Chain A
Amino acid sequence: MAKVNTIMCICPAGLGSSLILSMNVEKVLEKLGRTDIVVKHSSLGDTYNGCADLLVVSADVYDQVKQYAPTVAIHNLINKDHIYEVLKQYFDENPDA
């Protein structure tokens, strides 16, 4: 896996949930010592090949976006511990990322 420079958070409309998710992901990245990563957020329709290095998405849209980039699903968008676990696991499994 290539190095992660950008993360895109995605929910159906790209307005509310993905914004909250991106704010939480930013906080979790601080904890992981990865403040070099830029976190963006957008909608299902705005997702395309290469829009980001890693997609961190609401679990209900996982199947629709996983084709575009490496994707992790978040089941509880407001639980930072859960987001931490998921991201930590991703970075542990992909040491180059």
Chain B
Amino acid sequence: MGFFVFLLDFLIQLLSNASILISLFIMAGMMVRKKKTTEIITSIIKTLLGFNLISGSSTFIVGSIIPLNTMTATAFGFTGVVPSNEACYGAAAGQFGTALSGIIIAAMAINIVIAKFTRFSFIYLTGHEMMWVSTCCAFVFSAAGLPLWQIIVAGGLVTGMYMAIFPSLIHKDVCKITGSQEISIAHTGSVLYWVAARFAALVGDPKDSIEDAKIPEGMAFLKDWNVSLSLVMFALYFVVSVVCLIAVPGLVEKAFGEGVNFIIGSINYALQFTTGVFILMAGVRLVVGEIVPSFRGISEKFIPNAVASLDIPIVYPYYPTGTLVGFLCCTVAFILAFFVNIALHNAVPAFPVILPNVINAFYYGATYACVANPNGGKRGVILATLIIGFFTHFAPGFLIWLGGLEVSGTTFGGADTVLIGVILNTLNKFIGNAVFYVIIALFVLVLVFGHRKKDGKKEVE
């Protein structure tokens, strides 16, 4: 008997370990693709290392946000939230390990099923964005108190449906950029990309392309995350600590530690945040780099004519000038929105203060510009990035206000995660745990009414 208990215990621990669960999936995917044993071993070790890096990074990230929150909470009366997908995932991964891995695997299966049997033949290949949506589901369903298997099933269904359906929103706009039907974009901002494209079409003229404009290239160095993140976090720390020095004596010492100069403290904590994100990205890169080829290998076997949906920078090379203009306009919009946000917080205290995140400004701004240019040209690009960018700043606030999703002073920044989080949480408030059955019903509806269009799309292979 002793041996059986030992075996059972071993199996339970094995399958409830988040990183091992994903490793098993990757192993299966590599076996399907007939890889060598040595390659499989390498992949598994890379995946496990990646997960360790991810969980290790949260110490840095969370630790670097605490002093900032200490200062803003006392001096300004609000706790700022950093809308960073990576940081939020890093902080949440530890809490929802097994649920999260289960959701990710289930979601990929559901994506393949929907792509196979409905008109939404999109395969979502942006592994990290898929993780953000999965985390959002794990968070909301856990908060709702569903049992683990229901969290995995419901989360997998929601994420899987999301993966197959949302890339269809902006497929037409991506076709206009790339001039081919082959790909779409898989990114958690797609709702707002669609809005930006429609808005640009209203205000601008597609013939007047942004690429004809000349702009200085001096800002291009900010495309490097490590540089722009460090600079912005330093500026944030610096401004906040100067205000605290003037307004509340003793607070800066409390936040940075006794005897630490506020400039040195600002540099230290800004770089600590960037270090955390750097480690996290290295981890996510290892994990995603193993998941995506397996997922692609499997999906290509089952659905050869599916549309591959990829990360947004895939469209950046088409409009290098637009990318830069979008980034700059969006940064301006975010800073303006930040001040409006503080005023809004004073009027409605439940609405949190979102700190401007330069990574979001880059990705959103650049993508708004790319989808706006073929629809509305130069005018469309500038107006869409400024105005839609302004509203983008507030999106994570809604996720915290109406979706209740906040982990260690961070939350998700993507518009789609906001939409899903808010809808799920609201549903849950009204119908309680019946939300599980609503999601299953929705999945059946998608399968029944999304019947397959016959004209097969051509594949690049």
Contacts and interface: CB of A to CB of B under 8 A. Distances in A.
Contacts of A80: 460
Given A43-B225, A63-B217, A19 B292 contact: yes
Nearest to A40: B289
A78 B460 contact: yes
B290 to A, nearest CB: 10
Interface residues of B, number: 39
Given A60-B313, A78-B308, 15 more contacts: A12-B225, A12-B313, A12-B316, A13-B313, A14-B281, A17-B313, A17-B314, A19-B292, A23-B293, A43-B224, A43-B281, A60-B223, A64-B220, A73-B317, A77-B314
Interface of A is mostly: mixed
B310 A78 contact: yes
A44 interface: yes
Contact of B224 (A44, A76, A77): A44
Contacts of B308: 78
15 contacts: A12-B223, A12-B362, A13-B311, A15-B288, A16-B127, A16-B310, A16-B312, A16-B314, A45-B224, A45-B226, A60-B223, A60-B316, A64-B224, A78-B308, A79-B460
B304 interface: no
Interface residues of A, number: 30
A46 B221 CA distance: 14
Contacts of B224: 12, 43-45, 64
A64 B223 contact: yes
Contact of A44 (B223, B289, B316, B320): B223
Interface string B221-243: 10111110000000000000000
A97 interface: no
Interface in B278-318: 278, 281-282, 284-285, 288-289, 292-293, 296, 308, 310-314, 316-318
A15 B89 CA distance: 15
A63 B314 contact: no
Interface in A9-67: 11-17, 19-20, 23, 41-46, 58-61, 63-64
A20 B223 contact: no
B317 A76 contact: yes
B289 A78 contact: no
Given A45-B227, A61-B223, A64-B220, A15 B128 contact: yes
